[in-house]
Amino acid sequence: MRGTLWIVLGLFPLVDGHPTLKTNQNSLETADAALNHQSGSLNSVLHLDDTEKAALEPTRVDPAFPMKELNTSHYPATRAARVAQHYLNYHHGSPSKWFMVHDIKKASSEDIPEVGTKYHVQFSVQEQATKEIVGNCTAEILFRQTEEQSAPEVNCTCDDLLKIETSDADHALYHHIKHQPEPMTGMDIPDSQGNIPKEMEPFWYLGGIGASFIMWQQSNESTLYNMVHVHSVKQLNSENDLLAFDYVVLLHDMVSQEIIHWHMQVAWNPTQGVKVTQCHLLPKGTMKQPSAEKHKI
Amino acid sequence: MYSRDQVLRIAAKDVEQITLLKDLEELEHLELDFWKGPTHPDFPTDVHVPFASLQAVKVFLESNNIQYSIMIEDLQSMVEEEKIQISRSRSTEQMRNTNSFDYASYHTLDEIYSWMDMLVSEQSNLVSKIHIGSTFENHPIYVLKFSTGGTKRPAIWIDTGIHSREWVTQASGIWMAKKLATDYGKDAIITSILNEMDIFIEIVTNPDGFYFTHTQNRMWRKTRSTNSGSSCVGVDPNRNWDVGFGGAGASSNPCSETYRGSHANSESEVKSIVDFVKSHGNFKAFISIHSYSQMLLYPYGYTKTPVADQQELHNLAKKATDALSTLYGTSYRYGNIIDTIYQSSGCTIDWTYNQGIKYSYTFELRDTGRYGFILPANQIIPTAQETWLAVKTIMEHTYNNPY
């Protein structure tokens, strides 16, 4: 089966009514709809005017909006590709599957007057658990010019994405967690020395996938996000067949060099994938920073 | 022997719980082995619990509402793992010499300073330690000098750890210093270079920050100087140099991670290097090492105007990163700072280049974001090894192209 997936448009929930997750006034889809895309259906509840539709259509060369070839070593291409990575992870990642951009092959951008800047990037990704490289991803990333932060809109296809088969691992993990007598907890992943206990790895991945949602939402042309630490994770009770976890994660923005703390709740099962059900930014100084190791003397 | 023993990670939430854990520590019949003793609610307590005592300990924790998780579910299966040997041996053994030092592990400020003294005493014909200044909190700032003689020979500078949270850099600095000391007389290039040039390595360029990352906040980047009129501490030492100071690419807000400081060279950590370099007057290459992102950068960061030597620096960067990748396939981007990463004013290698030190480079070591600053210790040596190939390339070019 040819593993090509069309994933159209960014989708995100309004969360806690919290202003830090401001949404584009035109897009009010929920994370549920985002997950529907994984199974191939293309829902769109966006109502766009003609300019906006034009901005989101696959690229046509239009002399009125010249395309600028970008140096693949320079930061504009790096930042755009990172957004596509976050998007890809949120829609395809799992506790057994986490992608990072491997190599940017080609990049260009076009300024769309009164709309924003649209980037076109071709890149490969490496899946972190299997180390497999998925060669051919193409993404269009639109950064709208808005006064407040709005999530970039992403249109992304990857050949051979589905060849990375982790559903056995995901199902095994799901059942393992479901059958534990006590809800799991963890903190400081990794610890100061970079160690991660084997049984914590899936929860580190899951945190990374959940954080990808936040990082995608918070990205713009002046950011470059990574998750650098899981401060804490705690399994929550859930009545349905979704597992639920409460996380505090630390994100690093390379451009400002700031470390920011986000509190999020993440739901997961192997068939529905990962969903961030709640998240909010923690003010600087609220959480004690990741603790250093005391050496045993 | 350790079958079904477990290692628990305990998260005490307040001082009362710490006291309870200390009581637990006193119960000798449980035969508990604390890898990390109970000290403070901010730090986890790790304890090896023999199988026979497991139930009692867990009941104790649960009935007192003390949160814990099972870090190692069956210690026997871990016994062969290197991790245990390293974490136990380095906490119980004395550091005997630089050959038995554990390079595959992250060390404290004290351990690094002791190691430096050992290296100097083992190879006093080649290595000496210079005190170039003191930090805000009055830690001494040391530079190792590698020299076979002469007076103010043309010199190469390497610094690591200017941003304290970038732990793989200080760790790599230690490894590279040892490598340099070992390879003199054995490696043809290193021997030629050291026969005519001096090499200076500053391993802990931000000692106050480094100490803070060990004791309070693993993610601390800046110095630890206080800022008048603000409760926020610290200046970004890589925005404090006297080049483009005050311009775009640094913050004027003391609470920012890229705060430039009240004036250029306000930080003693930076001023010490400035004074040293100026009074030496004969540096030919300057390499400042950071993490993470896997990049090799040359000036400028503060302006888009290319440096006069752009072509040569670009070509050398390609050569160096090609050399780096031969070892483990690690791929690096390279280019000038302002186009490759972002605009930054007041940064180290812009200043050194403007002083006439042509071969001015900044490294950003592993990785590209999977672990970021908290790179696993088992990647220290591979990172240092591959970086050394790039550093050697730059040093060799400097040696072959005197100016």
Q: How far apart are CA A195 and CA A186, in angstroms?
A: 13
Taking contacts as CB-CB distances below 8 angstroms, the residues of chain A near B43 are 291-294
Shortest alpha-carbon distance between residue B215 and chain A (Å): 6
Is position B137 annotated as part of the catalytic site? Answer: no
Q: How far apart are CA A48 and CA A92, in angstroms?
A: 26
C-alpha distances in Å from residue B258, one per residue of A209, B251, B344: 28, 5, 9
Taking contacts as CB-CB distances below 8 angstroms, the residues of chain B near A289 are 216-220
Determine, for residues B377 and A195 on separate chains, whether the beta-carbon distance falls below 8 Å.
Answer: yes
Q: How far apart are CA A118 and CA A143, in angstroms?
A: 6
pLDDT higher than threshold 80 for residue B188: yes
pLDDT at B78: 61
Please name the residue ranges forming H helices in chain A: 31-38, 50-56, 75-92, 167-178, 201-218
pLDDT higher than threshold 70 for residue B160: yes
pLDDT at A64: 64
Q: Which pTM value belongs to this model?
A: 0.80
**When comparing pLDDT for B326 and A7, which is higher?**
B326
B72 touches chain A (CB under 8 A): yes
pLDDT at B40: 77
**Chain B: residue whose CA lies nearest to A225:** B369
B2 touches chain A (CB under 8 A): no
pLDDT in tens, A268-284: 999 999 999 999 999 87
Chain centroid offset of residue B200 CA: 16
Burial class (CB in 10 A: 0-12, 13-18, 19+), B108: middle
Distance between the two ends of chain A, CA-based, in angstroms? 58
pLDDT in tens, A152-164: 999 999 988 877 8
3-state DSSP assignment of residue B160: strand
Considering only CB atoms, A100 lies closest to which of B341, B342, B368, namely: B368
Q: What is the mean pLDDT of chain B?
A: 93
β pairing state of B198-202 and B155-160: parallel
H or E element at residue B110: helix B109-122
Considering only CB atoms, A256 lies closest to which of B42, B258, B378, namely: B258
pLDDT at A11: 40
Residue at A17: amino acid letter: G
Determine, for residues B374 and A192 on separate chains, whether the beta-carbon distance falls below 8 Å.
Answer: yes
Average pLDDT over residues B145-174: 98
A257 touches chain B (CB under 8 A): yes
| DSSP secondary structure of A152-197 | PEEEEEETTGGGS--HHHHHHHHHHHHT-SS--EEEEES-TTS---
Pick from B6, B17, B159, B143: nearest CA to B74:
B6
Chain A and chain B share a number of CB contacts under 8 A equal to: 129
Residue at A115: amino acid letter: V
What phi, psi does B45 have (nearest 5°)?
Answer: -110, 125
B83 touches chain A (CB under 8 A): yes
pLDDT at B63: 87
Bridge-partner residues for A281, per DSSP?
A262
What band does A57 get if pLDDT is binned at 50, 70 and 90? low
Q: What is the mean pLDDT of chain A?
A: 81
Q: How far apart are CA A71 and CA A74, in angstroms?
A: 5
pLDDT higher than threshold 80 for residue B330: yes
pLDDT at B83: 54
What lies within 8 Å, CB to CB, of B56 at 6+ separation is B30
β pairing state of B283-291 and B155-160: parallel
Determine, for residues A254 and B293 on separate chains, whether the beta-carbon distance falls below 8 Å.
Answer: yes
pLDDT at B15: 85
pLDDT at B351: 98
| DSSP secondary structure of A69-94 | E--TTSHHHHHHHHHHHHHHHHHH-B
Hunting for tokens 């504009």 — which residue is that?
A: A76
Tokens of B47: 């304890």
